[in-house]
Every structure is written in structure tokens, then in C-alpha cells.
Amino acid sequence: MYAIRRWWDRNSIRFGLIGLALGSAWLIRQTQGSLIYEAYRGLSQPFGNLPAETAARKTPTDPRTLELEQRLVELESQNQKLQALLGEVTQSPTKGQVAAVIGRSADHWWQQITLGRGQQDDIKIGAIVSGEGGLVGRVVQVTPNTSRVLLISDPTSQLGVTVSRSRNMGYIRGQSANRVIMEFFDKVPDVRPGDVISTSSYSQLFPAGLPVGIVESVNLNRSPAPEAVIELSAPISRLEWVVVTPNPKAESALLPSGKADSNAGSNAAE
């Protein structure tokens, strides 16, 4: 009995391992390996998505997808601009219509633009053209399907304006930029940076009160008359859509393109 116990003590671990191996083999056969597969899947799951995610981050986006994303951004931008312009048309007491800018010469970027509406859309010479924020110019030529607009930034364009706060008057002349020069009729005008500039009641080509821009700086020592630099309210350098509004003064005071009308007994102003 003692000899059997000693023999078992020496061989029990061996028989235990043999039994474990046989039992595992039988279990694998009965489950067709699914138990091992599930155990392996459970252990490897936390690390299984890392290669795929890393590959997804490294894989460049499909060119077609990039193109569609860029088009979506462009359409959203145009939609926002159109919504703003349509809001202005809705709030305006006069009937206006939105028109696309379809032409603009690099040599005359600040002088004129071409719109995709014309006589068939009831656009007439002298009509007021506004952008998001303020006055842009006036229609000077019309065809059945297009219109040419003289911009207020054109050096030949002169526009009678007034300081909304103090009512001091003068006229602006274009500088082929988004800033124009205002020359005052008064020798000591009441004007300061930040003042709002709008069209004058003496203008023969535009009704009074149209927003033009904001005073950026003032030079009261300028000769022969004080001057101010006006930043235009409308983004003339990047116009894509505008609002065309009938002009009540167009028929009574229509002048050739580039010619200024008289303003309060002085030279110059549309």
C-alpha cells in the first residue's frame, strides 16, 4: 500500500496532464473548434480594429469624394449669399430681382460687370444695382439677355453723397479699389471715421438714402476741399450676385455712361 502511494505521488502530475490533454482533445472534437475560436476572438477583439482604423486614416480620400465635398462647400456659400440678397429684396419697398454676374474683364475689374438679365427680364438703363451691404452701380447698357453695369468704383463714376449723421454733402469718385474718395462741399465738414455715407437727395441719378460706405479716414487739410477715404459697403471685388431695382429717377435724369450730373450747384455727382 505504501509502495502504491509513492508510485502515485511520483506519477500523478503526469497522469493529470495526460487526462487534461485527452479531455481538451475530446472537447475540441465535440465543439469542432468553436470554443477555441471564441476564446481567440474575445482575446483579440480589443486590438482587432486598430489596423483597419489606422489604414483608414492613412488611405487618401477618393478623388470623386473630394470633388463632391468641394462642390457642396461652394453650393452652401452661394446659397448663403442668395438667401441674404433675397432677404433684401423681400424687405425692399420697391420690386427688385436677383441677377448673376456672368462677365467681368480683368482689365476693367473695378469699372464694370455684366449681368445675366436684360430686356426680357424688364431690366432698363439707369436701374439701381446693389450688392450685399450697399450700392454697386447702375445699368448703362442693356441687351435682350444681358446688362452692363457701371460700378461706383470706376474712376469716371462720380456719385453725390451725404454724411448720414451730420448731413454734410459732397461727392465720391472711384479709385479702382474697394475704397473711394469723398470730396466735401463745405470747407470744414462735420465728419469723422465711422460715419455712414449714403446717396444724396440732390443726386439726379440715384434716389436718396442708398447705403454707400463707411468713413475710414479724414483729411481736412486737403486742397482745394477736405477729403475722406470711404470704404464701400458692398464687396465689389468679389461680386457674384446682385439685386437690380427700378430707378424712379432714371427716365428724368438719364446721362451717358461715365458722365457726372450736377449736385447742388457743384460739379460732380451721379
The whole-number pLDDT of residue 224 equals 86
Domain residue spans in the chain?
92-270
CATH entry 2.40.10.340 includes domain 92-270: yes
The whole-number pLDDT of residue 78 equals 61
pLDDT tens, residue by residue, 156-165: 988 999 999 9
Q: Which residues on adjacent β-strands are paired with residue 183?
A: 171, 227
Determine if residue 167 is left, alpha or beta; phi over 0 gives left, psi from -120 to 50 gives alpha, anything else beta.
left
- Which cell goes with 93? 419697398
Answer whether 203's CB lies under 8 Å from 261's CB: yes
Residue type, 152: I
When pLDDT is cut at 50, 70 and 90, the band that residue 257 belongs to is very low
When pLDDT is cut at 50, 70 and 90, the band that residue 117 belongs to is very high
**CA 15 and chain centroid, separation:** 82
The span from the CA of 172 to the CA of 194, in Å, is 16
Does residue 55 surpass a pLDDT of 50? Answer: no
Q: What is the pTM of this model?
A: 0.62
pLDDT tens, residue by residue, 57-72: 544 556 666 656 666 6
Return the higher-pLDDT residue of 254 and 133.
133
Strand ranges, E, within 97-153: 97-103, 112-115, 128-131, 134-142, 147-151
Alpha carbon distance, N-terminus to C-terminus of the chain: 129
